[in-house]
Amino acid sequence: MAAVKLVELAHARSGDKGDVVNIGVVAYDPEHYPLLVQALTAGRVQEHFGDMVKGKVVRYELPNLHALNFVLPGALGGGGTVSLMMDAQGKVFSTALLRMDVEVPDEVAGRVRGRGRIPQSRHPNGEDTHG
Amino acid sequence: MRERGGGARTVRVAGAGGFWGDDLDAPVRQVEEGPIDYLVMDYLAEVTMSILHKQRARDPEAGYARDFVALMERILPVCLERGIRVVANAGGVNPGGCADEVARAARRAGVAGRLRLGVVTGDDLMPRLDELLAAGHELRNMETGEPLAGIRERVTGANVYLGAFPIAEALGRGADVVVTGRCVDAALTLAPLLHEFGWAAGDHDRLAAGVVAGHVNECGAQCTGGNAMPEWWSIPDLDRVGFPIIEAEPSGDFVVTKHEGSGGRVSPATVTEQIVYEIGDPAAYPTPDVVADFTTVRLSGAGKDRVRVTGACGRPPNGWLKASIVYAGGWRAVGTLVYAWPDAAAKARAAARVLRARLDRLGLRFDEVRTDLVGWDSTHGPLAGPPPPDLPEVQLRVAVRGSERAPVERFTREVAPLVLTGPPSVTGFGEGRPRVREVAAFWPALVPRAAVEPFVRVETREA
């Protein structure tokens, strides 16, 4: 087994309903969906976010879409215009979840390594990108 | 209804906006770059509603999406010529006022007398709030369980989310343009399908399919490559991104696509990202018309930038409709400054301590004071870990909120002085003093369906 980042296995989108964030996590490869079901338990996600989420995390499964939906109550500092958070509508909350380490079989790790990130050949690290 | 390739009856519903402020030209591209039957636009987010309530409070003729009127003046002639019908919740908190302006726009565009204008109202509960409370409806907050009575005097607006049937009725009575107030976003797309295919209230699976189509369509380009993670760097031509088109069939099956030659991408991955956006239990997505099950949906590629969506299931809706009540929630302001290397994060944190000590010494009371370092932890919080020692720069962001305006106002005068009185290497104060803004707080509540009566008006006006 080897650790990869969730961002290498899945893409995600998040949004708000009041003070609640939902994060939809979608496996890039349908055959990795069972890995996500196993690794991304509601408890594991709760633990990952710690104090960032005040309420109890609930997980829903969408096997046809090889996706999981997490509902995170009390994550937006009151939500809407009450919230003083930069990301008051939870638009990039998804990316905080994609930081999570996930244990996968070695051959899966070998195949997904680097996925979800811009290829180095395209990375904007040249001087011409400043200005 | 059009006959298209293979003789299959399809209706093409084009999504042209996901919020008020979305790509102004998207509706024009949807109309001009290929065949469509309906143009639908969602203008209303909760925050938008609170702004519209304020506008109407200042001016009884205001309170709708003005951009929609200018758009109609621009595209009405071509829409009428090609039989493209428009459905939009641009009416905001004043659908009648919006319709009056659209009628005037039609006259300016030279099509007055040819335009049949539909208006759906009945979502505004504000005039009936006390009647509802007196009848024993407590309008308890769906998140906290508290009854509305505690904040009744601070309520500035109350709207119930209507469904698709009133809009379909307006289409059935010949409306070329239907202006609504608050309705569920998906209703804008579902309504044309109800009208074209004659789906009934009991056709739960087909209604659910229409809700899935509407959910995919309602955020504009967010299902066609905009804000999409999968290989985002390879998604072409986002400067002229194609907005979504739902090609629906009478069975409820539909294809998500965009105009040929437009930018962006439609793939099972981009559509899935939108399906999971802002949902709770995916097996029970509630709307006034049907409870849709997203877990039975299947996606398959159907050619370049075409995704076929099948399998939605639905159950009957319950006896309640959701209402969104807005109330005055105090005042807020956000101040920012930028600190530079070396030790940028340490300087920013030290500055925040200085600021907080001054606010305390002034005796200012806030409900909340929040400090973030933008460029470091403002979105990932503690998950960002400790800042790297060589961070080139960081923006200090201090936000305050309180029930009284005066302390918030004073806070806005305490940020700039840090430039000469706090830690060194600071800039980024060029935008001047922070603005004090009013907080519009939301109170989600349920209203019995029987207490709500949608009203549909369709007429030709000479303006």
* Test mutation, A84, A94, A98, A118, chain B, max B CBs within 10 A: A84
B166 vs B6 pLDDT, higher one: B166
* B397 contacts in chain A (CB < 8 Å): 86
Candidate from B227, B299, B439 with C-beta closest to A81: B439
Q: What percent of chain B has pLDDT over 70?
A: 98
Smallest CA–CA distance, residue A82 to chain B, in Å, is 6
CATH number at residue B374: 3.30.70.1150
Closest to B337 (Cα-Cα) out of B407, B410, B393, B409: B393
Binned at pLDDT 50, 70 and 90, residue B462 comes out as: low
Are residues B302 and B412 both part of a single domain?
A: no
* Test mutation, B141, B234, B276, chain A, max A CBs within 10 A: B276
Beta strand spans in A1-131 (E): 2-5, 10-17, 20-27, 58-62, 67-72, 101-104
**Two structure tokens written together for B223:** 């299902």
Domain boundaries, chain A: 2-79+86-114
Is A60 in Cβ contact with B281 (below 8 Å)? yes
The amino acid sitting at B240 is R
Smallest CA–CA distance, residue B440 to chain A, in Å, is 6
Smallest CA–CA distance, residue A29 to chain B, in Å, is 10
Q: What fold, for A2-79+86-114? A: Gyrase A; domain 2 (3.30.1360)
Establish, for the pair of chains A and B, how many residue pairs have beta carbons separated by less than 8 Å. 132
Reported as a single tens digit per residue, the pLDDT across B112-138 is 899 999 999 999 999 999 999 999 999
pLDDT (0 to 100) of residue A123: 64
* Test mutation, A6, A7, A9, A13, chain B, max B CBs within 10 A: A13
SS3 B168: helix
Are residues B65 and B191 both part of a single domain?
A: yes
Report chain A's mean pLDDT, rounded to a whole number: 93
B6 pLDDT higher than 60: no
* DSSP result, B107-151: HHTT-TTT-EEEEEE--B-GGGHHHHHHTT-----TTT---GGGG
pLDDT (0 to 100) of residue B16: 97
Structurally, chain B folds into a number of domains equal to: 2
Asked if residue B312 lies in contact with residue B285, where contact means CB atoms within 8 angstroms, the answer is no
B298 touches chain A (CB under 8 A): yes
* A69 contacts in chain B (CB < 8 Å): 276, 279-280, 282
pTM of the model as a whole: 0.96
Asked if residue B251 lies in contact with residue B206, where contact means CB atoms within 8 angstroms, the answer is yes
**Two structure tokens written together for B310:** 């099948």
pLDDT (0 to 100) of residue A128: 46
Instruction: Report the interhelical angle of B95-108 vs B66-82 (nearest 10°).
Output: 50
Are residues B274 and B352 both part of a single domain?
A: no
Binned at pLDDT 50, 70 and 90, residue A121 comes out as: confident
Whether B145 maps to a domain, the answer reads no
Which of B263, B287, B317 finishes a domain?
B317
- The C-alpha atoms of residue B1 and residue B9 are separated, in whole angstroms, by 7
Is A19 in Cβ contact with B441 (below 8 Å)? no
Are residues B298 and B228 both part of a single domain?
A: yes
* Test mutation, B278, B376, B378, B394, chain A, max A CBs within 10 A: B278
Residues B135/B141/B144/B146 CA torsion (nearest 10 deg):
-30
- Domain hosting B431: range is 328-443
pLDDT (0 to 100) of residue B39: 98
Binned at pLDDT 50, 70 and 90, residue B149 comes out as: very high
- The C-alpha atoms of residue B248 and residue B252 are separated, in whole angstroms, by 7
ipTM for the complex? Answer: 0.95
Cβ neighbours of B392 (radius 10 Å): 10
Reported as a single tens digit per residue, the pLDDT across A71-118 is 999 999 999 889 999 999 999 999 999 999 999 999 999 999 999 999
Smallest CA–CA distance, residue B71 to chain A, in Å, is 28
B86 pLDDT higher than 50: yes
Average pLDDT over residues B251-261: 98
Which of B317, B340, B356 finishes a domain?
B317
Asked if residue B394 lies in contact with residue B348, where contact means CB atoms within 8 angstroms, the answer is yes
**Two structure tokens written together for A113:** 């390594």
Binned at pLDDT 50, 70 and 90, residue B430 comes out as: confident
Is B278 in Cβ contact with A64 (below 8 Å)? no
Reported as a single tens digit per residue, the pLDDT across B170-229 is 999 999 999 999 999 999 999 999 999 999 999 999 999 999 999 999 999 999 999 999
- The C-alpha atoms of residue B32 and residue B166 are separated, in whole angstroms, by 28
pLDDT (0 to 100) of residue B326: 94
- The C-alpha atoms of residue B106 and residue B463 are separated, in whole angstroms, by 8
Candidate from B227, B294, B379 with C-beta closest to A62: B294
Are residues B174 and B222 both part of a single domain?
A: yes
Smallest CA–CA distance, residue B276 to chain A, in Å, is 5
Are residues B106 and B182 both part of a single domain?
A: yes
Is A82 in Cβ contact with B441 (below 8 Å)? yes
Is B368 in Cβ contact with A86 (below 8 Å)? no
Report chain B's mean pLDDT, rounded to a whole number: 95
Reported as a single tens digit per residue, the pLDDT across B364-416 is 999 999 999 999 999 999 999 999 889 999 999 999 999 999 999 999 999 99
Are residues B272 and B375 both part of a single domain?
A: no
Whether B106 maps to a domain, the answer reads yes
Whether B148 maps to a domain, the answer reads no
Are residues B275 and B365 both part of a single domain?
A: no
Closest to B272 (Cα-Cα) out of A47, A76, A30, A37: A30
* DSSP result, B246-264: EEE-TTS-EEEE--TT-BS
SS3 B304: coil
A124 pLDDT higher than 70: no
Smallest CA–CA distance, residue A130 to chain B, in Å, is 14
* B446 contacts in chain A (CB < 8 Å): none
SS3 A36: helix
Whether B213 maps to a domain, the answer reads yes
Is B442 in Cβ contact with A80 (below 8 Å)? yes
B374 touches chain A (CB under 8 A): yes
Distances (CA, A) of B141 to A54, A82, B182, B193, B317: 18, 16, 19, 33, 20
Is A118 in Cβ contact with B282 (below 8 Å)? no
A129 pLDDT higher than 80: no
**Two structure tokens written together for B87:** 């459905």
Is B46 in Cβ contact with A80 (below 8 Å)? yes
Binned at pLDDT 50, 70 and 90, residue B432 comes out as: confident
Binned at pLDDT 50, 70 and 90, residue B3 comes out as: very low
pLDDT (0 to 100) of residue B228: 98
Average pLDDT over residues A36-63: 98
Candidate from A28, A63, A119 with C-beta closest to B230: A28
Is B276 in Cβ contact with A13 (below 8 Å)? yes
pLDDT (0 to 100) of residue A116: 96
Are residues B86 and B192 both part of a single domain?
A: yes
pLDDT (0 to 100) of residue B130: 96
Cβ neighbours of B213 (radius 10 Å): 28
Are residues B310 and B379 both part of a single domain?
A: no
- The C-alpha atoms of residue A73 and residue A39 are separated, in whole angstroms, by 21
Are residues B117 and B184 both part of a single domain?
A: yes
A115 touches chain B (CB under 8 A): no
Reported as a single tens digit per residue, the pLDDT across B15-61 is 999 999 999 999 999 999 999 999 999 999 888 998 999 899 899 99
Asked if residue B337 lies in contact with residue B354, where contact means CB atoms within 8 angstroms, the answer is no
Reported as a single tens digit per residue, the pLDDT across A13-25 is 999 999 999 999 9
Q: Which residues contact B67 (CB under 8 A, 6 or more apart)?
A: B20, B24, B43, B90
Beta strand spans in B153-250 (E): 155-160, 177-180, 245-248
